[in-house]
Amino acid sequence: MTQQDRTGDTGDTGDTADTVDTGRTVDWDALRGLATDAMAHAYAPYSKFPVGAAALVDDGRVVTGCNVENASYGLGLCAECGLVSALHASGGGRLVAFTCVDGHGELLMPCGRCRQLLFEHGGPELWVETPDGPARMADLLPFAFGPDDLSRGA
């Protein structure tokens, strides 16, 4: 759950960088490296499955998180939860690019619950690193339920 003082690289970054719809260049290798660093701090004594996550924020900050398990298994926190907590603890903002890794530093897709959490803090335009390349959250969580839907039931 650390906050990094780094921005998306706007220089020539080679094949690992993409310019997302916001016009910001994302160095996915660097972002994945920060997720791997966060994963090293995971607390996963029960599953033995450490996870790290990193995301670029709309103001250029990078926030990270790792999973934290609990002996009461259902109370464990995913890396994405730590990341969103770090986002708000460091000033808030909107997530614009996200990646997640397993204990070997390999790309890992967020579960459905975490996709919903990320949607809340990045919206449908959030870019998520996938095995097929960056994809918008709108494509990974179509027809998502969000804050605007709450007023419909009132």
Using pLDDT thresholds of 50, 70 and 90, give the confidence band for residue 148.
confident
Has residue 106 been placed in a domain?
yes
For position 22, what pLDDT does the model report?
58
Has residue 154 been placed in a domain?
no
**DSSP collapsed to 3 states, the chain:** CCEECCCCCCCCCHHHEEECCCCCEEEHHHHHHHHHHHHCCCECCCCCCCCEEEEEECCCCEEEEECECCCCHHHCECHHHHHHHHHHHCCCCCEEEEEEECCCCCECCCCHHHHHHHHHHHCCCCEEEECCEEEEHHHHCCCCCCHHHHHHHC
Has residue 152 been placed in a domain?
no
| 69 marked as binding residue | yes
pTM across the whole model? 0.86
Q: Which domain holds residue 37?
A: 3-10+17-142
Using pLDDT thresholds of 50, 70 and 90, give the confidence band for residue 136.
very high
The residues annotated as belonging to the active site are: 80
Has residue 147 been placed in a domain?
no
| 72 marked as binding residue | yes
CATH classification at residue 116: 3.40.140.10
Has residue 148 been placed in a domain?
no
| 70 marked as binding residue | yes
Number of domains in the chain: 1
